[in-house]
Amino acid sequence: MTYRRETDVLGAIEIDARRLYGANTQRALNVFPVGGGKRLGDYPMLVKALLRVKCACASTNQAIGALSGEIAGAILAAADAFIVEFPAEEFPVASLHGGGGTSANMNVNEVLANVAEESLGGCRGQYRIIHPNDHVNLNQSTNDVYPTACRLAVLDSLTQLRAAHQELDQAITTVIEKYGTEQRLARTCLQDALPVTFADFFGGYRFGLQRSADRVFECAAGLEEVNLGGTVCGRNIDAPAAYRSAVVISLAKIAGVPRLRPRADLFDAAQNADDLAAVSACLDVLCRQLIKIALDLRLLNSGPIGGIKEIDLPAVVVGSSVMPGKINPVIPEYAIQLSLQAAGRHHASAAALSHAELDLNVWESLMTCNVLDMIDMLSVAMHSLAVSAFTGLRVISSNIQRHLESPIAALTELARSVGYSEASRRARQTAPDRED
């Protein structure tokens, strides 16, 4: 392997000559092992959000005369190319690293600088024409660039969640259209209750899921307030006024988020990531909603002889290595595990909110990657329930009719005419083995 040598404040370091990243990224690779975690390149929405932020900054710096058209154009061309064709291997730093996102920001700065440098006739790693800090990162800090990109990435990823929710909603609606008028025995406290229809029962799923999804999307609107232009900790003297007044407007156009705007207080924005934590909390509620539905499906599918078996879920895999013919409710179980894992990520994000010491929350990598993972996991869970559980679900009418023979409904109706005490006395007569 051929290496090139770059020098920074810590001295010289060798880098794979084929790579577009530079010294800062290489040092991050050396000190932040990925282990069982993910790399920055495993979150393409986050990297692309960073690239869009860099486009807005370069365009604005050119507009105010801080960058020449040649340099700004080279940076913009490099960023646009990577947004279209994303090379994950060039963004290898650990997604969770110390420094509040500095390694992620510098990884992007170095890659853009090297591509832009070469496009203008320079050599990779020399930065004589375009420098990662002096040009790509001009009038910026990791502390405003990275949090802004984090919010854009989450907003972008919600498209996936919305599509998955709509898919599950439609699958449940199809089951209601097919079986909605059929009655089933409701259970409260896992005991016999009263007859209801499948439209009543599955309709509750639809409304609950819709409310939880709406809550996520409504809460996510808070992410449209960003701190780009606040540089290190929110001071308005660390970037030119002309740049600060224009950069978020430019980013809103580039990112396609028309309501994007600066946070009212940029010191608040540097210190507090409660907007990310709030989205995480709403996603956590959606986790619990999906777990409840999946658990219900397991119960109603239980059997085939010794359980409830009022529904039959599609058979998708063999259920046992030793019991022939056994079919397990693996799709609900898959959805439950995804949802439980997602809920655990919320716990970490909530803790990160309260650990934001003094002037900067440095834990936004943790919060953002967890929220992106939650969105991905919940989207997969909803998709799986839609296509492999509700689609193909059958109602077992013979078992349901037998369950509807429970005396509870008749006794409840009787109580309306003869009173609760008399109905209770007659109930005791029908259950002679029950002690008074």
Residues that are catalytic: 320
Q: What are the tokens at 192?
A: 């016999």
Q: Which amino acid is at 287?
A: C
CA gyration radius, the chain: 29
Q: What are the tokens at 294?
A: 């999946």
Whether the Cβ atoms of residue 74 and residue 127 lie closer than 8 Å to each other? no
In this structure, the strands spanning 225-226 and 261-262 are: parallel
List of residues 6+ apart from 339 with CB closer than 8 A: 287, 288, 290, 291, 294, 377, 378, 381
- Give the Cα separation of 32 and 9 in Å (integer): 19
Q: What are the tokens at 92?
A: 């290898």
- Give the Cα separation of 9 and 181 in Å (integer): 73
| Short-list 169, 306, 151, 117, CA closest to 226 | 151
- Give the Cα separation of 387 and 316 in Å (integer): 11
Helices then strands, each counted (H, E), the chain: 14, 8
Whether the Cβ atoms of residue 377 and residue 338 lie closer than 8 Å to each other? yes
- Give the Cα separation of 375 and 145 in Å (integer): 22
Whether the Cβ atoms of residue 223 and residue 154 lie closer than 8 Å to each other? yes
CB-based burial label for 31 (10 Å; 0-12, 13-18, 19+)? exposed
Whether the Cβ atoms of residue 377 and residue 341 lie closer than 8 Å to each other? yes
Whether the Cβ atoms of residue 400 and residue 183 lie closer than 8 Å to each other? yes
| Distances, alpha carbon 90 to alpha carbons 47, 69, 110, in Å | 11, 26, 10
In this structure, the strands spanning 261-262 and 311-312 are: unpaired
Q: Which position has the token pair 């090379």?
A: 87
SS3 state of residue 298 = helix
- Give the Cα separation of 342 and 284 in Å (integer): 7
- Give the Cα separation of 276 and 152 in Å (integer): 11
Other beta carbons less than 10 A from residue 308's beta carbon: 19
